[in-house]
Amino acid sequence: MHIIDHIAAIPLFQGLPKEYHEDLTTIVVDQIFRRGQIIFSEGDEGNGLYVVISGRVKIFKVSQEGKEQILHFFGQGEPFGEVPVFAGELFPAHAESIEESRVFFFPRDAFIDLIRKNPSIALSMLAVLSRRLRTFTMLIEDLSLKEVPGRLSTYLLYLSEHKNENDHLILDISKGQLASLLGTIPETLSRILARMAKEELICLDGPRRIQILDRNGLLELATGERRL
Amino acid sequence: MHIIDHIAAIPLFQGLPKEYHEDLTTIVVDQIFRRGQIIFSEGDEGNGLYVVISGRVKIFKVSQEGKEQILHFFGQGEPFGEVPVFAGELFPAHAESIEESRVFFFPRDAFIDLIRKNPSIALSMLAVLSRRLRTFTMLIEDLSLKEVPGRLSTYLLYLSEHKNENDHLILDISKGQLASLLGTIPETLSRILARMAKEELICLDGPRRIQILDRNGLLELATGERRL
DNA sequence: CCCCTTTCTTGACTTATGTCAAAGACGGGG
DNA sequence: CCCCGTCTTTGACATAAGTCAAGAAAGGGG
């Protein structure tokens, strides 16, 4: 598969005339990152847009004491690192490849030119940022207004609608990473999973395999109607 | 002052040819909201963009138990309610006028047309959304990785660089609202302010008047190098 | 200028969640 | 298939912050 095919497959660039795809191939920087490798750090200058071609990337913050808060996971076709492209200034968070990942980098100026010439890309990019704002709004709501059992329930219900395999949902990330995504620590997550299992809301079958026994109970936890 | 002058003064529409300003006057909806009036609620359909002409608007979420988390305050010239315009779907949060406010509403389709015709607006809008993402990133970091004294210190230092009046900074919002912005409750905020005063980091002189005595101490709290 | 409502403060108490430490379970590479 | 490093679980404990309740202060309207 050639570079131009990967570019044509990026949702952000869908519906763009073919010649622009060709233009993009001339400026793209094709990069491979190993598991655990840092793509950029908070405070670095961001002079371009990244797109995940394969693998997975996490965007996160770290506190003084080393606690980590994951902001996003990005996979195939998803752009990241766009904030400094449009708002100037520096990256607000870190990006790390959590598995072997292939990433395309598009330098800022060429990308801005593309937007100037193609309102459809501008609208796509606006849609991407707006969805991201929505996601952040939900994360803020979770962190500020819900307890960990509520956040976990929301996540489990979300997973059950996407990555489920005949009622057994499969965690696509480690529990440590899940804790960090939910704004807590592995110990707390572990305890709450155990408590949910004891209350027969879920059944833990296998390290990354969870069965939902009482979907309604989880929903009540997620909305704050019930506490664990 | 005529409607077109207000429109020309909106930063988002700066650098737009005059004829577009005139076009906008034909579609704008001019609205006044009283203090405490709801402009839209979470879950409402959003079919246009709002801009604050005068007064102030808060964007917030509420939990089941009634706790409130403020996401933004918006003042003169700032756009809000844009997420559903670009991402489709519904408002992710509530908007309330916290004082008598004048708000212009631009219907979605006309606004999207404008963007199609003017890449410069698209770029301005991308910059607005990117800055908003940066703000949210900081809020998430605060909520997840810092304690309330750290968040408060960050806010006080921020204020001291903007709204200070010979070393006395003036809170531009009530303490209850500040608590809600910091993701806590008035009681906790009150206690922490008292504690900061006892430690001689600040001096409370008057209901909305605070003097910073130890800027460095606040900075250490804000970065997590020190605890209260 | 004073009353009444709203906002703020303070105290005693509860609780969710973080910390520290140690044991147990996985799982990939040799 | 077994071993070692990593991830996960569990326990005992510490603590930041929320709840409830009551009193104090502030501020706007008559």
**Are A83 and B130 an interchain contact pair (Cβ–Cβ within 8 Å)?**
yes
Partners of residue A132 in chain B, C-beta under 8 Å: 133
**Other CB atoms closer than 10 Å to residue A163's CB: what's the count?**
11
Pair A132, A201 in one domain: no
Q: What single letter denotes the amino acid at residue A16?
A: L
* Residue A143 burial by Cβ neighbours in a 10 Å radius (0-12, 13-18, 19+): buried
Angle in degrees, CA A173, A179, A185, rounded to 5: 145
Do A81 and A125 share a domain, yes or no?
yes
Radius of gyration of chain B (CA): 20
Query: Does the residue B141 lie in any domain?
Result: no
**Nearest chain A residue (CA) to B90:** A134
Question: In this structure, is residue A8 part of a structural domain?
Answer: yes
DSSP string, A109-164: HHHHHHHHH-HHHHHHHHHHHHHHHHHHHHHHHHHHH--HHHHHHHHHHHHHHHSE
Residues B125 and B188 in one domain: no
Residues with CB under 7 A from strand C: A 65, 67, 147-149, 183-185, 187-188, 192, 206-208, 227; B 174-176, 186-187, 189-191, 193-194, 204, 207
**Do A17 and A124 sit in the same domain of this protein?**
yes
Are the C-beta atoms of B101 and B31 separated by less than 8 Å?
no
Q: Which amino acid is at B6?
A: H
The domain boundary, picked from A137, A163, A181, lies at A137
**Looking at A137, A158, A175, which one is the last position of a domain?**
A137
How far is C-alpha A224 from the geometric centre of its chain's CA atoms?
25
- Relative to beta strand A68-74, strand A57-62 is antiparallel
Between chains, do A137 and B89 touch, taking CB under 8 Å as contact? no
> How many Å does it take to go from CA B60 to C1' C10?
28
Phi-psi domain of B62 (left: phi exceeds 0; alpha: psi -120 through 50; beta: other): beta
**Structure confidence at residue B167 (pLDDT):** 75
Mean pLDDT of A119-138: 96
Same domain? For A26 and A96 the reply is yes
Domain termination site, one of A85, A113, A137? A137
Does A228 map to a domain? no
Q: What single-letter DSSP state applies at residue B14?
A: T
Residue range of the domain that includes A97: 3-137
**Could you give the ipTM of this predicted complex?**
0.95
Identify whether residues B157 and B94 lie together within a single domain: no
The reply to whether A13 and A126 lie within a common domain is: yes
**Could you read off the pLDDT of A141-189 as tens digits, one per residue?**
999 999 999 999 999 999 998 877 667 898 989 999 999 999 999 999 9
Does B49 score more than 90 pLDDT? yes
pLDDT per position as a tens digit, B147-162:
999 999 999 999 998 8
pLDDT surpasses 90 at B206: no
CA–C1' B25–C25 (A): 68
Q: Do B71 and A140 touch (CB under 8 A)?
A: yes
Give the total number of structural domains in chain B: 2
Is A129 within 8 Å of B131 when comparing Cβ atoms? no
Q: Is residue A46 part of a domain?
A: yes
Closest to B159 measured CA to CA, from B101, B73, B98: B73
**Is B138 domain-assigned?**
no
* CATH code of the domain in which B106 resides: 2.60.120.10
Inter-chain touch A86–B126, beta carbons under 8 Å: yes
Distance CA B107, CA B82 (A): 11
Same domain, residue pair B98 and B155: no
pLDDT at A48 > cutoff 90: yes
- Note whether A58 and A170 are same-domain residues: no
CATH of the domain at A192: 1.10.10.10
Task: Assess whether B56 and B90 both reside in one domain.
Answer: yes
Helix (H) or strand (E) holding A173, with range, is: none
Please provide residue A21's backbone torsions phi and psi, each rounded to the nearest 5 degrees.
-60, -40
Nucleotides of C under 7 A from a protein CB: 7-12, 16-21, 25-27
Q: Are residues A36 and A83 in the same domain?
A: yes
Which is it for the CA torsion B4, B8, B12, B13, positive or negative? Answer: positive
Q: Is B71 inside any structural domain? A: yes
Q: What angle do the packed helices A18-27 and A108-117 form, to 10 degrees? A: 170
Residues A129 and A160 in one domain: no
With a cut of 90, say whether residue A205 has pLDDT above it. Answer: no
Two structure tokens written together for A56: 């997975």
Q: How many residues does chain A have?
A: 228
Does B139 reside within a domain? Answer: no
